[in-house]
């Protein structure tokens, strides 16, 4: 009986490994294709795909940098906007979740429901009013309309609130108050460290969302030096057919992925810790 049980566990383990290997393969193969194509010239790409890297990576990069598009400025602009958006989003969303979680007031349920209802409103519906507002505030062609709205992020708030309900004990907050700690000190020294795993997850999501955002920056940014990488990639792809170079497009896309990978690697240890911590209930 025990032998049959051990065999069945072994078979299930083998099946699980096979499934995980297949999923990993289908997730990573596209990155491999991207980086392979970044090493090939436009004529080689037109001939079809080959799994072997070519020798035109440096040529593609040189032609891209020496072109008319401000690639370096676009990278710096995207890093600045995405980093500040992620920082403001996770900090103020955690603060909002803490207020709903730790305090009792009459409008508590209404505010929670209202914030969740805001999630149902798509950006495209409010974009006209948003553009009129930033035009009256003279913020057009600046980075502020791309950074400041990240302070109000209902989806991030909801995730952090659910995580806080399972990990942050009210008795811990009350003990800190009895010891004489102020509310901001409790939030910054107790709540934020406990919420690191959830904050790391949402920081990655917010960074990637802001990094890939094309719709709003295309409407707000007008100066070439202030454009972000998604706008520049779209301009490069829509170039005249005489100037169009698919090798440069692949190099630029690969170039734009590296900061996202770096952010994930820096925060991945907190994600693993969050999975372990989230499985522990009081």
249's tokens: 């497009």
pLDDT of residue 281: 44
pLDDT of residue 133: 92
- The parts of the chain modelled with pLDDT lower than 70 are 1-7, 239-243, 271-282
Distance CA 196, CA 168 (A): 12
Model's pTM, two decimal places? 0.84
Alpha helices, DSSP H, located in the chain: 2-38, 42-47, 57-65, 71-102, 108-118, 123-136, 144-147, 154-167, 170-178, 183-186, 192-194, 196-212, 215-220, 229-237, 246-278
- Spacing of C-alpha 89 from chain mean position: 11
Do residues 207 and 260 touch, judged by C-beta distance below 8 A? Answer: yes
Exposed / middle / buried, residue 34 (Cβ in 10 Å: 0-12, 13-18, 19+)? middle
pLDDT of residue 220: 93
């Amino acid at each position: 009986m025990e032998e049959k049980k051990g065999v069945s566990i072994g078979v299930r383990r083998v099946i699980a490994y096979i499934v995980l290997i297949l999923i990993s393969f289908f997730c990573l193969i596209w990155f491999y294709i991207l980086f392979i194509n970044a090493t090939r010239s436009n004529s080689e790409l037109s001939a079809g795909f080959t799994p072997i890297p070519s020798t035109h990576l440096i040529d593609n990069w040189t032609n891209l940098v020496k072109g008319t598009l401000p690639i370096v400025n676009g990278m710096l602009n995207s890093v600045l906007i995405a980093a500040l958006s992620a920082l403001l989003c996770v900090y103020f969303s955690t603060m909002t979740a803490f207020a709903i979680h730790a305090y009792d007031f009459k409008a508590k349920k209404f505010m929670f429901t209202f914030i969740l209802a805001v999630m149902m409103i798509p950006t495209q519906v409010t974009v006209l009013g948003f553009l009129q507002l930033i035009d009256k505030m003279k913020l057009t062609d600046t980075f502020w309309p791309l950074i400041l709205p990240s302070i109000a992020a209902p989806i991030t708030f909801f995730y952090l609130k659910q995580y806080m309900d399972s990990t942050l004990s009210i008795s811990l907050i009350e003990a800190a108050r009895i010891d004489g700690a102020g509310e901001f000190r409790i939030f910054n020294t107790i709540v934020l460290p406990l919420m690191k795993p959830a904050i790391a997850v949402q920081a990655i999501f917010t960074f990637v969302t802001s990094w890939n955002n094309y719709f709003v920056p295309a409407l707000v940014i007008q100066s070439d030096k202030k454009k972000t990488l998604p706008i520049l990639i779209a301009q490069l792809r829509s170039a005249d057919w005489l100037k169009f170079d698919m090798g440069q497009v692949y190099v630029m896309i690969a170039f734009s992925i590296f900061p996202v990978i770096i952010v994930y690697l820096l925060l991945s240890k907190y994600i693993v810790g969050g999975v372990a911590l989230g499985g522990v209930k009081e």
